[in-house]
Amino acid sequence: MNGTITASARSDVGAVRSVNEDSFVAREPAFLVADGMGGHARGDKASQEAMRVVGERIATGAVVTAADVLQAITEANRAVRALSASGDTGVSVAGTTISGVVQIGAGDGDERRWMVVNVGDSRVYGWDGRTLTQLSVDHSAVQELVDAGAIEPEDAPLHPERNIITRALGASDDVDVDVWLLPVGGRQSFVICSDGLTKELPDEHIARLLASAGTGSADVADTLVEAAVAAGGRDNITVIVVESQSGEPLGGTDATVDRAEAARAISEDTKPRVGEQERATR
């Protein structure tokens, strides 16, 4: 399958923080964001280590399978896990989210798929030029409450548990990765971001900025990040905008996304849910 993939990417410390705990990989075939857990030991190192390992396991220009991607994330989890250390106050947990898209080989020949992956509350969106659709599902306490009908989506940003995530690399020995497979064809765009973007800009605002930038803009990630900083920039902000053009238009919709309308829960400094054996310190 012939085609081209371009991407713009930007990471910024924001207007409040002194350390950028976000990291990213943005080169074919992998486009991923990692958000180290704010207020926790080694949050910046956790995201950096996750991206280092994934970047090494998924080489630039490589043709990889879904199993290769999952193995890379498993190894990244082990590497982040190794950063955690026991101290006088118990276990200090290093952790990070990971979200993004990887173009993978699927079957024989040149067949390709987009593999959307997510652990945590960084996000992957699809953009068709008019509509911004959240493809990933937040692993957060407030998302669980929304799913259970306990709170309304509009109440999520102010909920007391808005800073709790329910999955992260480094939180346990095993990592549970959400995966969706999308067909490759025609013009496709993805926005991958840490929650520093979504806590400052609602989806409607992000969509307006994308529409104004148009397709093929080399600085669209800069535009989104700068808007989030101007809106407050309370957290680190990382954005990757991926644009793919294939010679073969989509003939159908074999995407496995089943929750594209996930609630827009906005969180602040993230931390893992406290388990029986581990407690994260802020």
| Interatomic CA distance for residues 106 and 7, integer angstroms | 22
As a 3-state breakdown, the chain gives helix, strand, coil percent values, each rounded to 5, of 25, 30, 45
The arithmetic mean of pLDDT across residues 186-204, rounded, is 95
pLDDT at 263: 30
For residue 29, cis peptide bond before it (omega within 30 degrees of 0):
yes
The arithmetic mean of pLDDT across residues 240-257, rounded, is 67
90: left (phi over 0), alpha (psi -120 to 50) or beta: left
Domains of the chain: 3-272 (3.60.40.10)
Q: Read off the pTM.
A: 0.85
Maximum alpha-carbon separation in the chain: 59
For the stretch 137-177, pLDDT in tens is 998 677 667 667 787 676 666 666 666 788 999 999 999 99
pLDDT at 218: 81
The arithmetic mean of pLDDT across residues 107-131, rounded, is 91
Q: Coil, helix or strand for 189?
A: strand
For the stretch 214-244, pLDDT in tens is 767 789 999 999 999 999 999 999 999 999 9
- Per DSSP, helices labelled H in the chain are 43-57, 66-81, 141-147, 195-198, 203-213, 220-230
Q: Please name which of 110, 132, 244 lies closest in space to residue 186, comparing C-alpha atoms.
A: 244
For the stretch 19-62, pLDDT in tens is 999 999 999 999 999 999 855 568 899 999 999 999 999 999 99
Q: Please name which of 239, 233, 241 lies closest in space to residue 13, comparing C-alpha atoms.
A: 233
Residues in Cβ contact with 90 at an 8 Å cutoff, skipping those fewer than 6 apart:
279, 281
pLDDT at 161: 65
Q: How is residue 164 written in tokens? A: 């709790």
What are the b/e assignments for 132-145, b being 16+ CB within 10 Å?
bbbbbbbbbbbbbb
pLDDT at 260: 36
Q: Coil, helix or strand for 23?
A: strand
Q: How is residue 250 written in tokens? A: 């989509």
Residue 249: count other Cβ atoms within 10 Å of its Cβ.
8
pLDDT at 89 over 80: no
The arithmetic mean of pLDDT across residues 191-205, rounded, is 95
Provide the pLDDT confidence category of residue 270 given band limits of 50, 70 and 90: very low
